[in-house]
Structure 1
């Protein structure tokens, strides 16, 4: 029986809420310790209130529960990060350094660090962006992720810390509200459609970006963490691809279910961020090293999003 004890920082976020449940199913509720600044009222399991900038607080949890794996999800995302750039840098880097050092000192078996397509800048081939492209990001969030990737490689080579990472595309899921990212339109647009409201998009209609459905994200993350150590050849962060589309294409997919749904466009500061990112991703290293393959395309994702959001909003209306 697997005796791993897992700590998740940032467990109340968009990705953390879903990943926590999946890890609970896989490893058992008593072996997964979720942590964040605040407890979600719907959470079930073991939860520790944690400010991940506090080294001693993380150390206390690691010792208390005899943690063997850490999924470090706590971070300020791209769009919100640009509002307070220095604070974003301080929080994203301090929390990660705390996790790295605690993992080294406590001989943690395995660490997960999420990176992002935000690591790329505008001096790349935006079609099928390669694993080892230039990394000159346009946001502080992206800068923190590039730095985190390099520190991950350093801790692996210097101390043997088995830290693994994925460059996430835009993540789309029905389970929680968006957390301040540039690709959040692809979640907001579904919520408006379900509510029979029109949507004003903050990106141009033709802004193609790489996206991935939450189910594929969670599966990819766990598959990477369970892959044999000798199979991992990328010690910065793996490119990961799901699907690529623009707001107009997503609108058409939604209109197959809601024909009267309308979208207008009013680009804001996030347009410049999106224009510096890839349009599609070459994830051949992930496919080769740990057999990654996405299951959801735009139509399958749209059907599943609509189905689950309808259930979610129906449940809310009945509980009021």
Structure 2
């Protein structure tokens, strides 16, 4: 290892977003070290075993790796937190505090962490309002409250110690290989090479602000390497789309596949109208077109 090369510890580095982050860090000349409770196979970067709820193990990990920055993505996601609230709080809230404290003790001065649009709650409560970072959150489920607590913890460390702790409020992430969330049915459609039907757990009016995984990773890395980010919280979103629009695209381009949606009243309780102007104006980042991506993949697979 080059002792002069900057090193990033990436908690959740083996996940869907984490893999993209680690590769972009490597492209930027930064050594990525992913951290996962169980080391996955087949990755082309270093991954260490680690659990964010184990403070003693985290302390040892920081001593061994000696990171210059941290990107924290590890979490129990979304509505899954409702089925195991105690463990989810241990991972999402105490795990984040442990990462912040281990970074502080180790002298790390930059922590970038994944927050979520879940802090804003449900678009129904906001009407047509486009959410910006200055809007106060109204979480509608447990995961959103976890993320709001994470933001408060990060603000405490930034205010009281010589650290920058920067959160990215991530919207609905899509990309090839995505197996969970609102964009997962697209992956299933692409895998249905012989035709047939694909069930979607959301209704046609379920709407989302879609950001490609590469765009999300680009934003996280930009916040990690920027000399002086102007803010401590940023939104990252992209194109607005509904599941009904996705179904219509599938019907147009892959008529042999039926994307079967849930009843109209079944929807995700999240926000879909999000401003990313702060991130765009400061870093010049522009999201890819979601419908263009879907159209391109469906056309090439037909």
Equivalent-residue separation in structure 2 for 1:61 and 1:9 (angstroms): 11
**CA 1:226–1:186: 2 relative to 1, 3 Å:** farther
Verify the 8 A CA contact 1:112 1:225 in the aligned structure 2. yes
**Aligned pairs for 1:181-192 within 5 A:** 181=181, 183-192=182-191
Shift of 1:306: 4.7
Verify the 8 A CA contact 2:109 2:164 in the aligned structure 1. yes
Match of 1:218 in 2: 217
Equivalent-residue separation in structure 2 for 1:256 and 1:247 (angstroms): 14
Match of 1:279 in 2: 272
Equivalent-residue separation in structure 1 for 2:127 and 2:81 (angstroms): 25
Equivalent-residue separation in structure 2 for 1:268 and 1:254 (angstroms): 18
Match of 2:113 in 1: 113
Equivalent-residue separation in structure 2 for 1:124 and 1:257 (angstroms): 34
Match of 2:50 in 1: 50
TM-score by length of 1: 0.84
- Equivalent of 1:167 in 169, 181, 185: 169
Q: How big is each residue's C-alpha offset from its partner over 1:52-108, in whole Å with a ceiling of 9 and x where there is no partner? A: 111121111111121111111110001211211222112111110111111111110
- Equivalent of 1:293 in 286, 289, 299: 286
**CA 1:192–1:32: 2 relative to 1, 3 Å:** closer
Shift of 1:141: 1.1
Verify the 8 A CA contact 2:92 2:146 in the aligned structure 1. yes
TM-score by length of 2: 0.89
Q: Which runs of 5+ in 2 are unaligned?
A: none
Match of 1:249 in 2: 245
- Equivalent of 1:4 in 6, 13, 34: 6
Q: Which runs of 5+ in 1 are unaligned?
A: 311-320
**CA 1:112–1:59: 2 relative to 1, 3 Å:** same
Shift of 1:290: 2.5
Match of 1:39 in 2: 39
**Aligned pairs for 1:1-320 within 5 A:** 3-27=5-29, 31-122=31-122, 123-175=125-177, 177-178=179-180, 181=181, 183-194=182-193, 196-229=195-228, 231-233=229-231, 235=232, 237-266=233-262, 271=266, 274=268, 276-294=269-287, 296-303=288-295, 305-306=297-298
Equivalent-residue separation in structure 1 for 2:237 and 2:151 (angstroms): 18
Greater shift after overlay, 47-56 or 126-135?
Answer: 126-135
* Alignment coverage as a number of residue pairs: 297
Verify the 8 A CA contact 1:193 1:258 in the aligned structure 2. no
**CA 1:149–1:267: 2 relative to 1, 3 Å:** farther
